[in-house]
Amino acid sequence: MPDAVPILAFVTLQRIAELWLSARNARRLRARGAFEVGQGHYPLMVGLHAGWLAGLWILAWPLSANWWLVAAYGALQILRVWVIASLGERWTTLILVLPGAPLVRSGPYRLLRHPNYVVVVIEIALLPLAFGLVAFAIGFSVANAAILAWRIRIEERALATGSNRDV
């Protein structure tokens, strides 16, 4: 079996589980009065992440992995879990505003304003690099940076209005 199969199967299952968790949390937040802002960027972000994962399945399939970089990617997942756990039911892939809720200032949010985005930036580059896909890593990193710049501006405006951190 090629190295990519178990690695990409893990990442794919992880992303599916995160989408399920996000949808569940979004339903609960909306039931409590939350509303979405900045919907315009979301389809592009979903397309970027889907294209990244699909591209990895296509391009990395026959390649051997650099297991040091795969291990680094695995270690990065600890930070991902910490981010999700710190936000709890407020973690979603959407930008949802729950009026009156305080900012989350625990976990990695004590240290960084947007720790989830730090994880995503590193992941987008690191996993393709683990398979030697340098141009792929660069291309998706540039596209991701553009979408994240747009998303962070939207989120900062939402935070400035006294809302919470829901992404």
The rounded radius of gyration (Å) of the Cα atoms in the chain is 16
Two tokens, residue 145: 């940076």
Over 70: is that where the pLDDT of 129 sits?
yes
Over 60: is that where the pLDDT of 165 sits?
no
pTM for this structure?
0.91
- For residue range 69-106, list pLDDT tens digits in order: 999 999 999 999 999 999 999 999 999 999 989 989 99
- Quote the pLDDT of residue 119: 98
Identity at 125, one-letter amino acid code: A
Instruction: Determine the 3-state secondary structure of 25 from DSSP.
Output: helix
Kindly report the number of other CB atoms within 10 A of residue 135's CB atom.
Answer: 9
CA dist 117 and 61 (Å) reads 27
- Quote the pLDDT of residue 2: 85
Over 50: is that where the pLDDT of 167 sits?
no
CA dist 5 and 1 (Å) reads 7
Two tokens, residue 53: 């994962």
Could you tell me the fold of the domain covering 4-160?
Four Helix Bundle (Hemerythrin (Met), subunit A) (1.20.120)
